[in-house]
Amino acid sequence: MQWTSPSGQTVALREGDITRVAADAIVNAANSALAGGGGVDGAIHRAGGPEIMRELDRIRSEIGQCPAGGAVATGAGNLPAKYVFHAVGPVYRDGRHGEPELLASCYRTCLELAESRGVETISFPAISTGVYGYPLDRAAAIALREVMRYFAPPDRRVRTAIFVLFGRRAYDAFAAALKELAPGRV
């Protein structure tokens, strides 16, 4: 499923493994320690190789931790990309402790990193929906809304955002949100 903006930018949904989808930049659902982990983070580090962690080690020595809502960039190692943007999503409590704003900030920050690096294609996972517990339907609406807003000006470098979703449940949640945000246009 996909949506195309009036100026030709595309938001596409795919079910699958983000480490196997070619893009200029792959977004990683990282933890604030930038120290690797499970889920998407573990898959990206396994597929990308040790180069990514070496870069993160240097970044950690400079900034310490990355706060929720933020992101840092590294090379992509063995992944089919130029960059990995390590985005730190919020841990979901109840939606009333800044979680929606922090999650939206993850997507905006990654898009800003992409713009500054001349990225044309970017792939996103469903940030914070795994062990961080963000409800899929709410996370999908926030993620898609932020990317669609970003695509409002026609002069963006990023032309394609691919949401690579692990499992049918995640795909269905994002598909439902996309249909609601762009009725009749998907």
**What are the structural domains of the chain?**
2-181 (3.40.220.10)
- Torsion (CA) 177, 130, 106, 44 in degrees, nearest 10: -120
Q: Are 76 and 111 in contact (CB under 8 A)?
A: no
* CB distance 147 to 178 below 8 Å: no
Q: What angle do CA 174, 176, 180 make, to 5 degrees?
A: 115
Q: Tell me whether residue 57 is one of the annotated catalytic residues.
A: no
- Residue 85, pLDDT score: 98
Q: Which two tokens stand for residue 43?
A: 């898959």
Are 124 and 143 within 8 A, CB to CB? Answer: yes
- Of 106, 126, 104, the C-alpha closest to 173 is 126
pLDDT tens sequence across 140-178: 999 999 999 999 998 999 999 999 999 999 999 999 999
pLDDT digits (tens, 9 = 90+) for 123-134: 999 999 999 999
Output the CA–CA distances (angstroms, integers) from residue 85 to 96, 116, 180, in the order listed. Answer: 27, 12, 28
Q: What would the pLDDT profile of 24-51 be if each residue is shown by its tens digit?
A: 999 999 999 999 889 999 999 999 999 9
Find the helix or strand (DSSP H, E) in which 2 lies. strand 2-4
Name the pTM for this structure. 0.96
State how far the Cα of 37 lies from the Cα of 42, in Å rounded to an integer.
5
Q: Identify the active-site residue in 41, 57, 94, 155.
A: 41
